[in-house]
Structure 1
């Protein structure tokens, strides 16, 4: 993380089930957690009002998109969690960069789509949300294909491996250089 730039966009990305939320809530980040936009949290807040989980998640996704765009236009610092499996989030990051935002990118992977799916199934047993297996696998490949573009765009980046018993930093981008962690 960087030393408090005027306009910071923190992107926490990684495949479904990689451990993005776990990283956010167990790591000291230089941004107020209230300013990290997470569709899962929005969806949980709607659970009493909207019973259908797919409809609830669609509304949460739409609400998060509106909030991201509003904060961007206001020039506020914020962060968001994303699977990063679609071009639109990368385009959003490019737009932020063009508006003078410092891009801090945190990427978390569990190594394989099988491991991600296994982690999701554990999460479901504890009351968390499910993701269909076919979506986990297809999104995993797309997410990994976007990783180089995010690394190139970011001012600072950390890539974490969450496939084992604890998070392990794989590499960091700082001052335009990517360095592997020994």
Structure 2
């Protein structure tokens, strides 16, 4: 019997999670149109709520959490977008793993959180949702911290850099580095992640 899949698209606000999801740079055959998708921003928009409304944001978050719990309890494959910050998302990853899900993480990073902030500003100009710049700066570090913790919990991890143009940087499978495209990096955050994984003894698949 095939294992249910938990597919997570992660990265700080403005990094390009939705851009990656809509692209052809990942294995789209692993996601059917019927697969539940958990995205608080999309839930907010589906209700016609304003992104500035704090109460609406909280309600969208509650609905997203309820959908996650429902999928986990039913062992139903689903995909989710997350900034990968806070304790809740880490608990979700751990719970999915414990329940036998195949956990696949697609992480999008940028070289500087100000790049993400500028993209969010442009998004708001075109009617999209905004995020406080200081929140983005804080989440940028927290997201990378949780990425290092999440890698050992995943069956497969794909790293993408979207500092200038969305491109694949690395693939980690079953704790081993399968691919690391140095020429595609060009920024420091992927190297930082690799070195922190080694320092944490999370895996032994990458060497200088």
For 1:136 and 1:51, the matched residues in 2 are separated by 16
Structure-2 separation of matches of 1:181 and 1:113: 22
TM-score (normalised: structure 2):
0.80
Return the alpha-carbon distance in structure 1 between the equivalents of residues 115 and 154 of structure 2. 27
- Shift, 1:91, TM fit: 1.2
Deviation at 1:175? Answer: 3.6
Helix, strand or coil at the partner of 2:70? helix
Question: What SS does the corresponding residue of 2:163 show, helix, strand or coil?
Answer: coil
- CA displacement 1:105-157 (0-9 Å, x = unmatched): 00001221111101111111111100001111111111111111111111011
Q: 5+ residue gaps in structure 1?
A: none
Q: Work out the CA distance in 2 between the residues paired with 1:131 and 1:52.
A: 9
- Name the structure 2 match of 1:17: 14
Say whether residues 1:144 and 2:141 are aligned partners: no
C-alpha distance in structure 2 between counterparts of 1:170 and 1:26, whole Å: 16
Secondary structure of the corresponding residue to residue 18 of structure 1? coil
CA contact (8 A) 2:93 2:103 kept: yes
User: Which consecutive segments of 4 or more residues in structure 1 shift more than 6 A?
Assistant: none
Alignment of 1:1-182 (within 5 A): 5-27=2-24, 28-29=27-28, 30-33=30-33, 34-47=35-48, 53-164=53-164, 166-178=165-177, 179-182=179-182
Point out which structure has higher relative CO (alpha carbons under 8 A, 6+ apart): 1
TM-score by length of 1: 0.91
